[in-house]
Structure 1
Amino acid sequence: MTRDDGLDVAGLQRRLAEFAAARDWQPYHTPKNLAVALSVESAELVEIFQWLTPEQSARVMEEEDTADRVRDEVADVLAYLLQFCEVLGIDVLQALSDKIDRNERRFPAQ
Structure 2
Amino acid sequence: MSQSSNADGELARLRDIVRQFVDERDWDQFHTPKNLSSALSVEAAELLEHFQWLQKGDAAELGEAKLQEVRHEMADVLVYLIRLADKLDVDLHAAVLEKMVLNRAKYPADLVRGDMRKYNEYKSR
The alignment's TM-score, normalised by the length of structure 2, stands at: 0.78
2:20 is equivalent to residue 2 of structure 1: no
Q: How large is the RMSD of aligned CA atoms in angstroms?
A: 1.6
Aligned to 2:118: none
Percent identity of paired positions between Structure 1 and Structure 2: 40
Asked if structure 2 preserves the Cα contact closer than 8 Å seen for 1:61 and 1:67, the reply is no
Task: Report the CA distance between 1:62 and its aligned residue.
Answer: 5.8
Number of the residue aligned with 1:66: 66
Alignment size in residue pairs? 105
Larger radius of gyration between Structure 1 and Structure 2: 2
User: Runs of 4 or more off by more than 2 Å in structure 1?
Assistant: 59-62
Q: What does residue 13 of structure 1 align with? A: 15
Which consecutive unaligned segments of at least 5 residues does structure 2 have? 111-125
Distance 1:41 1:60 in 2: 23
CA distance in 2, matches of 1:60, 1:35: 31
Task: Point out where structure 1 has 5 or more consecutive residues left out of the alignment.
Answer: none
What is the CA distance between 1:106 and its match in structure 2?
A: 1.5
C-alpha change, 1:93 and 1:61, in structure 2 (3 Å) is: farther
